[in-house]
A and B are shown apart, each in its own frame.
Chain A
């Protein structure tokens, strides 16, 4: 390259190179700067245009609005369970028996995959409220009806890939990584809760 320039000083290529040679330093820098700024603007601009598309796929305002559910607890007898819907998901509300509660409280926390005491999962020990969605891949575990399978720990059993939950809804066996999730809820009276 250098040789070509040296031997053909009058050729267009050489002329151009020679022309560029003097302000080369400043010119090169200015061009790099312009390229960088243009590139940066293009990236930011593309991001700004893509974002609304991505964001439009997130939950919309009307979906977010359906976010509380009230449950009347008075008709639920000891040992019974009901399933209510909150944000399109099933929520298990179980009126636990004394045996259920004791079984849940006696488990050493160190044995658990997702360590939580029973007390951390309830407001009142006789009422267990949790989202009825297996933390593995989202099936609804069985165990709400007395005739359902309850798994090896007397709670819930997920038929999809075989996860077993105990009487506190904690994962004990199978592929699920976490305990059944306890949703935010409050007692609005002795026999009424509001989920969400």
Chain B
């Protein structure tokens, strides 16, 4: 082997020739083949892979939609209708892309919830978690700008309301909004730049996902017990165990996705977005896409413009400091009887807020939105810090493999390791 080349053991000579010069095959083998992964994952651990696949689907359908889309206020709406009626399989591309955004948010919400429940945000995975929050923010920005592109009534008024959030900033707010618009209202310059950024951001997401996964492969995955693997008896190689488990999940996921696309393609959309944008008439009841509803409810829960905007942004930014707000050393909620209930209530609050966001801002919806908002923040700022000190957690199992292999029964010291090492 010549000096300066990577020592490669692949049998196929072409693969070996490449691998010796650019060890991508070795890297894939290490990170996705033999990568030691906790043996006790449940199906909630599918959702990272599902998110990755969805991101690729969004990029693929998006690129082909862009070949037929026209980012101009006079043509955007019609070009989308043309995609739906005249372009071969244009309806399929568009319905997959539109519903794909919803599926993406479902998947990432489950993925984040999994992290909340099993304490995946705690040391040593804080940075991994924060990169996840960055991805989430980028996803929201991308989805928001994408929804503006068909230039229907909801596109236009959603864009107007969301860009106006920045006018709440004292002193420079109005100049910032004018700058975002490139004019004095949401108009052609706005549509153009949103198209440009909507094309760009998914590739930025790809970059951050790379960092997210790189960080994951330093700390290794968390698992449903929240305890660290103690040795090889606690892990299995990623391939074939989790490539197969992820594939099973993927098939189920595609079934749901396909039912949505082929039978209920407009279920999650809003009929007003099939009316071309009219800058002079606001629809009587404007709502954002379903995945933004909880934050929209938080925005409207406060009868003060700046206060509402600050609270809405904080509701997401608070995730960045969550690793330091939750001071309990126990990761998995399985062993935290009180925190588990508090998190389930938080989940209820999230859905209540989602409902409130879909209602006109009056009566019971306002009251519930205020209660939901209060609890949403209290969970992070009061309940978790207090429970970190006060809660009596349940005893943790000694290792991942013991309860799995021996039904939890005690074993003589050292005996647990041996049988597995043969496997």
Contact = CB atoms under 8 A, between A and B. Distances in A.
A175 B280 contact: no
Contact of A63 (B183, B302, B303): B183
Nearest to B185: A88
Contact of A140 (B163, B280, B305, B362): B280
B305 A176 contact: yes
Contacts of A142: 282, 284
Interface stretch (A12-20, A25-33, A96-104, A158-166): A158-166
Interface in A153-175: 158-162, 174-175
A174 B165 CA distance: 16
Given A63-B189, A139-B161, A161-B361, A90 B182 contact: no
A74 interface: no
Interface in A74-112: 83, 85, 87-90
Contacts, number: 91
Contacts of B338: none
A59 interface: yes
Interface in A124-154: 132-133, 136-142
B182 A85 contact: no
Interface string B163-198: 111010000000000111111110101000100000
Contact of A88 (B165, B180, B187, B360): B187
Interface string B271-296: 00000000111111110000000000
B361 A89 contact: no
Contacts of B193: 57
A160 B160 CA distance: 11
Nearest to B308: A175
Contacts of B162: 137
Interface size on B, as a range, is 35 or more
Contacts of A83: 280
B161 A138 contact: yes
A52 to B, nearest CB: 14
Nearest to A162: B361
A59 B184 contact: yes
B286 A160 contact: yes
A90 B160 contact: no
Chain A interface mostly helix, strand, loop or mixed?
loop
Contacts of A54: 179
B189 A60 contact: yes
B361 A90 contact: no
Contact of B184 (A57, A89, A161, A174): A89
Given A59-B184, A159-B284, A175-B300, A88 B179 contact: no
Contacts of A57: 179-180, 182, 193
A46 interface: no
B118 interface: no
Contacts of B183: 59, 63, 87-88
A4 interface: no
B195 to A, nearest CB: 14
Contacts of A87: 183-185
B304 interface: yes
B151 interface: no
B157 interface: yes
Contacts of B180: 57
Given A59-B178, A59-B184, A159 B285 contact: yes
A123 to B, nearest CB: 22
A38 interface: no
Contacts of B362: 162
Contact of B164 (A88, A132, A138, A140): A138
A90 B279 CA distance: 8
A85 B187 CA distance: 13
A159 B281 CA distance: 11
Contact of B303 (A59, A137, A138, A174): A174
Contacts of B184: 59, 63, 87-89
**Most A C-beta atoms less than 10 A away, residue of B183, B187, B284, B360:** B183
Interface of A: 54, 57-60, 63, 83, 85, 87-90, 132-133, 136-142, 158-162, 174-177
11 contacts: A54-B179, A57-B182, A57-B193, A58-B182, A59-B181, A63-B184, A89-B184, A138-B160, A159-B360, A175-B308, A177-B305
